[in-house]
């Protein structure tokens, strides 16, 4: 690999910087997706009748729902990844 070579010409963006930017933008996009899904799912589960404020039990439910959503995400990720490996082994 050819890490750390100086940017050619000097006018171009440093390659390592560019790669870091790509990675952090992907991370931001994923966080936004998760935020949006969690809000959507936990609102549906926990705020059945929106009142004048988020009451205590609703907040508790949302907190729990977020943790369970993360659990679910991790199970799905693990299962999908194992399945992909199995499918690749079949080829």
Partner 1 sequence: MDSFGSGGGAGGQIDPHMQHFIEAETQKQRFQQLVHGLTDTCWEKCMDRPSTKLDGRTETCFVNCVERFIDTSNFVLNRLQSKAGTGELH
Continuous H helices in the chain:
15-46, 56-90
DSSP string computed for 42-68 = HHHHH-SS--SS--HHHHHHHHHHHHH
Q: The tokens of 18 are what?
A: 């560019």
Binding string, residues 2-41; x marks residues near partner 1 by CB under 8 A: x----xxxxxx--x--xx--xx--x--xx--xx--x---x
Binding site for partner 1 (CB under 8 A): 1-2, 7-12, 15, 18-19, 22-23, 26, 29-30, 33-34, 37, 41-42, 45-46, 61, 64-65, 67-69, 71-73, 75-77, 79-81, 83-84, 87
């Amino acid at each position: 690999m050819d890490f750390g070579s100086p940017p050619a010409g000097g006018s171009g963006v440093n390659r390592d910087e560019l790669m870091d930017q790509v990675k952090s933008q992907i991370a931001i996009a994923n966080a936004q997706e998760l935020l949006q899904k969690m809000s959507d799912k936990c609102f549906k589960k926990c705020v059945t009748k929106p009142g004048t404020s988020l009451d205590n039990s609703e907040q508790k439910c949302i907190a729990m729902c977020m943790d369970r959503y993360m659990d679910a995400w991790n199970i799905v990720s693990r299962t999908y990844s194992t399945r992909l490996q199995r499918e690749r082994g079949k080829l």
